Amino acid sequence: MLKVDKLMVFYENALAINELSIEVNRGEIVGIIGSNSAGKTTLMNTISGLLLDTRLKEQRKGGERITIFGRLSFLGQDITNVWADQRVKLGIVLSRERHPVFVESDVEENLRIASYLLPRREIKGMIAQVYRIFPALFPLRKRKAGFLSGGEQQMLAIGMSLMARPKLMLLDEPLLGLAPATQVKLIESIVTIRKEEGVTILICEQFARPVLPIIDRGYVLENGMLTLHGTGEELYDNPEVKAAYFGV
C-alpha cells in the first residue's frame, strides 16, 4: 500500500532522515519506534505531505531550507510531489502529535468540521461510529474541546481523522503524555479501527511497550536511520529494544 524508498530529509545541513526505506501493506498495523529526535515526526510529516507545505512556507519567507530526496508511493501511485490536501483525498490521513483540536468548538462540531470530504448523508452515521469506537466522547459531545482532558482530546483527534474515511491512518505519538489506563483504552480503540473499519495504520511511538503487542511489523529508528525491524513479537523479545525502550 505504502512504500517509502531511500528517503532523506535535510533541515539546512542537519540530516533528519537518512536513507530510510519502509513498507506498509494493506490491512496492517505497522509501528515506528524511536526516542525523541529519532525522526518519527519528520517521517510522518513527509508521508502526509505536510513537509512539502512547510518547505514552501519556509522558501517564501526566506527561512529554513528543507531538502527532500527519495520516493514515496501509495497504492502504486508516485506521491512524492503530491500536496497534503490531495493525499487526504487519496486516503492518507494524519493524526498529529499532541492532539490538535479546535478548542473553541464542541466535540461534535470538531467531528463535523473534519467531515468536509464526506457526502452529507454519511456524516451522521460516521459520527455515530466515532462515538461507538470512543464511547467516552458521547456524553461530552456538547463540551468544548478545550475543556477535555488530554486523553479525551486524543480520542477526539483520532475520531476527526476517521471522519475523512482514511485508507491509511498515520498516528504520530498518540500515547504521548497519557496515563497508563488511558493508553490501554486508546490501544484497544486502534485495534478496533483496524478490525472494524478496515483501516491500515502506521503508528509512531516512543512508548514501545504498549504498542509492540498490537503491531504486525515494526521499525526502530535512531537518529533518522533504520536500526532494527521485525514482527511486533520479535521486537518485543529483542534485548536491545527492551534495554532502550522498556528500561530493563
Block residue for cell numbers 514515496: 72
Residues in the chain predicted with pLDDT less than 70, given as ranges, are 247-248
Q: What is the pLDDT of residue 242?
A: 83
- Look up residue 46 and give its three cell numbers: 513527509
| Residues facing 202 on adjacent strands | 30, 170
Q: What is the DSSP annotation of 101-130?
A: --TTSBHHHHHHHTTTTS-HHHHHHHHHHH
Alpha carbon distance 230, 216 (integer Å) = 9
- 215: nearest Cα among 239, 241, 240: 241
pLDDT recorded at residue 194: 95
Short-list 148, 145, 162, 196, CA closest to 94: 162
Q: Measured at the alpha carbon of residue 182, what is the angle toward residues 153 and 198, in degrees to the nearest 5?
A: 75
Domain range 2-246, CATH architecture: 3-Layer(aba) Sandwich (3.40)
Strands of the sheet containing 168-172, edge to edge, are: 92-95, 168-172, 200-205, 29-33, 217-222, 225-231
pLDDT in tens, 18-31: 999 999 999 999 99
Residues 184, 187, 191, 193, Cα dihedral to 10°: 120
d(CA 10, CA 163): 33
Quote the pLDDT of residue 243: 83
SS3 61: helix
- C-alpha cell recorded at residue 241: 529494544
- Would you state the cell numbers that stand for residue 116, as one nine-digit string? 468536509
Distance in angstroms (rounded) separating the CA atoms of residues 171 and 177: 15
Residue ranges per structural domain of the chain: 2-246
What pLDDT, in 10s, does the model give residues 161-196? Answer: 999 999 999 999 999 888 999 999 999 999 999 999
